[in-house]
Amino acid sequence: MSSNAEKAYEILKAFEGKEEGVGQWHTIDQQQINLFADATLDRQFIHVDPEAAKITPWGTTIAHGFLTLSMLSYLVTSIPPIAPQSFEGIMMGINYGLDKVRFPNAVKVNSKVRARTVLTKVELKPPNQVQVTRTVTVEIDGEAKPGCVAEWLTRLVYG
Protein backbone atom coordinates (compact mmCIF):
# COMPACT_ATOMS: atom_id res chain seq x y z
CA MET A 1 0.00 0.00 0.00
CA SER A 2 1.27 3.50 -0.85
CA SER A 3 1.80 6.07 1.87
CA ASN A 4 -0.02 9.41 1.86
CA ALA A 5 3.25 11.09 0.82
CA GLU A 6 3.71 8.71 -2.11
CA LYS A 7 0.12 9.29 -3.25
CA ALA A 8 0.56 13.06 -3.01
CA TYR A 9 3.84 12.86 -4.90
CA GLU A 10 2.17 10.99 -7.78
CA ILE A 11 -0.71 13.48 -7.89
CA LEU A 12 1.54 16.56 -7.77
CA LYS A 13 4.12 15.16 -10.20
CA ALA A 14 1.44 15.27 -12.92
CA PHE A 15 1.26 19.06 -12.48
CA GLU A 16 5.02 19.68 -12.55
CA GLY A 17 5.85 22.58 -14.89
CA LYS A 18 2.28 23.89 -14.90
CA GLU A 19 0.97 27.23 -13.69
CA GLU A 20 -0.98 26.90 -10.46
CA GLY A 21 -2.74 30.22 -10.70
CA VAL A 22 -2.73 33.93 -10.09
CA GLY A 23 -3.62 35.54 -6.78
CA GLN A 24 -5.56 38.62 -5.83
CA TRP A 25 -4.11 42.12 -5.87
CA HIS A 26 -2.73 43.69 -2.69
CA THR A 27 -1.76 47.34 -2.33
CA ILE A 28 1.52 48.06 -0.55
CA ASP A 29 1.07 51.44 1.10
CA GLN A 30 3.43 53.69 3.04
CA GLN A 31 2.18 52.45 6.41
CA GLN A 32 3.09 48.86 5.51
CA ILE A 33 6.52 49.98 4.28
CA ASN A 34 7.09 51.99 7.49
CA LEU A 35 6.04 49.07 9.71
CA PHE A 36 8.45 46.79 7.85
CA ALA A 37 11.21 49.40 8.24
CA ASP A 38 10.54 49.53 11.97
CA ALA A 39 10.53 45.74 12.30
CA THR A 40 13.79 45.30 10.39
CA LEU A 41 15.49 48.55 11.42
CA ASP A 42 16.05 49.28 7.70
CA ARG A 43 14.97 52.92 7.55
CA GLN A 44 16.80 53.95 4.39
CA PHE A 45 15.26 57.15 2.99
CA ILE A 46 14.18 55.48 -0.27
CA HIS A 47 11.68 53.51 1.79
CA VAL A 48 10.48 55.87 4.53
CA ASP A 49 11.01 59.50 3.47
CA PRO A 50 8.60 60.49 0.68
CA GLU A 51 10.09 63.96 0.33
CA ALA A 52 13.71 62.79 0.03
CA ALA A 53 12.67 59.90 -2.25
CA LYS A 54 11.47 62.38 -4.89
CA ILE A 55 15.08 62.68 -6.13
CA THR A 56 15.39 58.93 -6.77
CA PRO A 57 14.81 57.33 -10.18
CA TRP A 58 11.34 56.26 -8.97
CA GLY A 59 10.29 59.70 -7.74
CA THR A 60 8.68 58.21 -4.65
CA THR A 61 9.31 55.72 -1.87
CA ILE A 62 9.65 52.03 -2.71
CA ALA A 63 8.99 48.87 -0.76
CA HIS A 64 11.97 46.98 0.61
CA GLY A 65 12.87 44.00 -1.57
CA PHE A 66 12.62 41.84 1.53
CA LEU A 67 9.15 43.22 2.25
CA THR A 68 8.07 42.10 -1.21
CA LEU A 69 9.67 38.69 -0.58
CA SER A 70 8.04 38.36 2.85
CA MET A 71 4.63 38.93 1.23
CA LEU A 72 4.84 35.60 -0.64
CA SER A 73 3.13 33.70 2.18
CA TYR A 74 0.18 36.08 2.06
CA LEU A 75 0.02 36.60 -1.70
CA VAL A 76 -0.23 32.89 -2.52
CA THR A 77 -3.12 32.29 -0.09
CA SER A 78 -5.63 33.50 -2.68
CA ILE A 79 -4.45 30.92 -5.23
CA PRO A 80 -6.53 27.73 -4.95
CA PRO A 81 -4.51 24.51 -4.63
CA ILE A 82 -3.83 22.90 -8.00
CA ALA A 83 -4.51 19.42 -6.58
CA PRO A 84 -6.52 19.56 -3.32
CA GLN A 85 -6.59 15.76 -3.18
CA SER A 86 -2.82 15.81 -2.59
CA PHE A 87 -3.46 17.10 0.95
CA GLU A 88 -5.04 13.85 2.16
CA GLY A 89 -3.19 12.82 5.31
CA ILE A 90 -1.08 15.99 5.50
CA MET A 91 0.09 17.02 8.97
CA MET A 92 1.77 20.30 8.10
CA GLY A 93 3.59 22.33 5.50
CA ILE A 94 7.00 23.78 6.31
CA ASN A 95 8.76 26.70 4.65
CA TYR A 96 11.99 24.95 3.60
CA GLY A 97 13.71 27.95 2.01
CA LEU A 98 14.52 29.61 -1.27
CA ASP A 99 16.86 28.55 -4.06
CA LYS A 100 16.94 31.78 -6.04
CA VAL A 101 15.50 35.25 -5.48
CA ARG A 102 15.65 38.26 -7.76
CA PHE A 103 14.14 41.76 -7.53
CA PRO A 104 13.89 42.88 -11.19
CA ASN A 105 11.80 45.98 -10.49
CA ALA A 106 11.12 48.34 -7.61
CA VAL A 107 7.68 48.22 -6.01
CA LYS A 108 6.62 51.86 -5.67
CA VAL A 109 4.45 52.94 -2.77
CA ASN A 110 0.73 52.32 -3.42
CA SER A 111 1.49 49.75 -6.10
CA LYS A 112 -0.78 46.74 -6.41
CA VAL A 113 1.03 43.39 -6.42
CA ARG A 114 -0.08 39.79 -6.85
CA ALA A 115 1.53 36.36 -7.05
CA ARG A 116 1.64 34.03 -10.03
CA THR A 117 2.92 30.53 -9.27
CA VAL A 118 4.28 27.65 -11.30
CA LEU A 119 4.79 24.20 -9.77
CA THR A 120 8.41 23.81 -10.86
CA LYS A 121 9.55 20.60 -9.17
CA VAL A 122 8.14 17.81 -6.99
CA GLU A 123 10.36 15.40 -5.02
CA LEU A 124 9.56 12.54 -2.66
CA LYS A 125 11.63 12.84 0.53
CA PRO A 126 11.60 9.77 2.76
CA PRO A 127 10.12 8.80 5.03
CA ASN A 128 6.89 10.82 4.66
CA GLN A 129 7.53 14.15 2.95
CA VAL A 130 7.06 15.76 -0.43
CA GLN A 131 9.24 18.72 -1.36
CA VAL A 132 7.56 21.19 -3.69
CA THR A 133 9.44 23.93 -5.53
CA ARG A 134 7.36 26.78 -6.87
CA THR A 135 8.47 29.69 -9.00
CA VAL A 136 6.59 32.64 -7.57
CA THR A 137 6.47 35.84 -9.59
CA VAL A 138 5.26 38.99 -7.83
CA GLU A 139 3.61 41.02 -10.56
CA ILE A 140 3.16 44.79 -10.27
CA ASP A 141 -0.03 46.22 -11.75
CA GLY A 142 0.84 48.31 -14.82
CA GLU A 143 4.52 47.27 -14.94
CA ALA A 144 6.16 45.00 -17.50
CA LYS A 145 8.79 43.68 -15.07
CA PRO A 146 7.89 41.91 -11.79
CA GLY A 147 8.91 43.08 -8.34
CA CYS A 148 10.24 39.67 -7.33
CA VAL A 149 10.84 36.23 -8.78
CA ALA A 150 11.64 33.47 -6.28
CA GLU A 151 12.09 29.71 -6.29
CA TRP A 152 10.33 28.76 -3.06
CA LEU A 153 10.70 25.33 -1.44
CA THR A 154 8.03 23.83 0.79
CA ARG A 155 8.07 20.50 2.61
CA LEU A 156 4.73 18.77 2.97
CA VAL A 157 4.77 16.36 5.91
CA TYR A 158 2.30 13.46 5.90
CA GLY A 159 1.07 11.16 8.65
In this predicted structure, what is the pLDDT of residue 151? 98
Q: Report whether 116 contacts 143 (CB < 8 A).
A: no
Kindly list the structural domains of the chain, giving each domain's residue range(s) and its CATH number in brackets, ordered by start. 4-158 (3.10.129.10)
Q: Residue 60's CB: how many other CB atoms inside 10 A?
A: 15
Element (H, E) at 73: helix 72-75
In this predicted structure, what is the pLDDT of residue 126? 87
User: In the chain, which stretches have pLDDT less than 70?
Assistant: 1
In this predicted structure, what is the pLDDT of residue 1? 45
Backbone angles phi, psi at 115, to 5 degrees: -100, 145
In this predicted structure, what is the pLDDT of residue 85? 92
Q: How far is CA 74 from CA 21, 25, 48, 69, 70, in A?
A: 14, 11, 22, 10, 8
Evaluate if pTM is beyond 0.85.
yes
